[in-house]
A = this chain, B = another copy of it.
Amino acid sequence: MKFCMIGSRGHFYYVFQSIGKVPGISLEAVSSGCEDDPAPLLKRAKDAGFDPAACPDWQEMLDRFSPDLVAVDGPFDKHAEMAARALERGIHVFCEKPVALTLEDLDKVMNARKRSGARIISMVGLRYQADFQFALRLVREGAVGKVKMVRAQKSYKLGKRPEFYRHRETYGGTIPWVGSHAIDWILAFSGSSFREVFATQTKEDNFNYGELEIACQCLFTMKNGVQAMASIDYLRPEAAPTHGDDRVRVAGTEGVLEVIGGSVILIDRDGRRELPVPPPERELFSDFACSLTGEHDCLVPESETFELTRACLLARESADTGKIIRF
């Protein structure tokens, strides 16, 4: 399997977490996809035992190397173009989320996918994190009975971020960027696509970060009736012990399960207990790459990549307009 990589702005490092588990994969070339220095990408590749070519132009790279698979993690506002161009060339795409920053761009990717034999997945790595992956397996096995509510939290340190975070056009907004993880958990744990969303957001008190929304909240109703909330913020103090405070709470007819602080806590007919978290059964990149050769299904169905992107963009639209949006 010939493999190329474009960019290192976001979660490209998921590739290196499990590339060693993809039989016969060969990282042929990398491109930063923009004015960024490709050095960090080259270094990670070398650390992983590869010696890829460095190409200034990502399109020339795709033409020259004709990879089977490409990772797309360039400028946020270029995900859609890069993904669409790759799909049009019949190249599978491992794409940073959100796949697109506008509904028009999402359509372009979906149309390219329709005309292509290649597939696309977005980098929803937190669905694969050991605690969340284990929790999802438990919920799917019926640990809480019929799911009724899902609540997800993403709270990040703001830290120091590049200039492009200050502009909606290049950043896309906090609901799509940070919230996409929470919204992906909602999609996964509810076991349903989205029916409706209402969301709020604020740029006030954003520590001079331009148009960046410092805090957001989304309220979803799923097609199967599950009620779901996402709380999203950059208000985690710098002195907090970890970068993020990621949580999910799933309440059902027979129990309540929570992922909090890396722990999985279940309350059911046997009372409350913390369950030991096993190592993850699957890892994002290798799960997708191996699914391309038909060996097994991927934990994230391809349809959910589009469903998630659309949900992020419609939630943002709700917050932008103050209106309830029906899917």
Which A residues lie at the B interface, using CB under 8 A?
A: 146, 148-149, 151, 155, 198, 200-202, 204-205, 207, 214-217, 219, 221, 225, 227, 229, 231, 233, 235-241, 245, 249, 251-256, 267-272, 322-324
Contacts and interface: CB of A to CB of B under 8 A. Distances in A.
24 contacts: A146-B205, A148-B202, A148-B214, A149-B215, A198-B219, A201-B227, A202-B225, A215-B227, A216-B227, A217-B219, A229-B229, A229-B231, A231-B249, A233-B251, A235-B251, A237-B256, A237-B269, A237-B271, A239-B268, A239-B270, A239-B271, A240-B256, A241-B271, A322-B324
A313 to B, nearest CB: 19
A229 B268 CA distance: 25
Contact of A200 (B221, B237, B249): B221
A251 B247 CA distance: 15
A231 to B, nearest CB: 6
Nearest to A221: B200
Nearest to A238: B269
Contacts of A202: 148, 225, 227
Nearest to A144: B235
Nearest to A322: B324
Nearest to A218: B219
Contacts of A271: 237, 239-241
Residue among A198, A221, A245, A249 facing the most chain B CB atoms (10 A cut-off) = A198
Shortest beta-carbon contacts, A-B, top 10: A235-B251, A198-B198, A239-B271, A219-B219, A148-B215, A240-B267, A200-B227, A217-B227, A149-B215, A237-B267
A227 B202 CA distance: 8
B272 A240 contact: yes
Contacts of A205: 146, 148, 253
Given A148-B202, A214-B148, A256 B235 contact: yes
Nearest to A258: B245
A238 B204 CA distance: 43
Contacts of A225: 202, 204
Contact of A217 (B204, B229, B236, B241): B229
B219 A200 contact: yes
B148 A235 contact: yes
Contacts of A322: 324
A160 B238 CA distance: 46
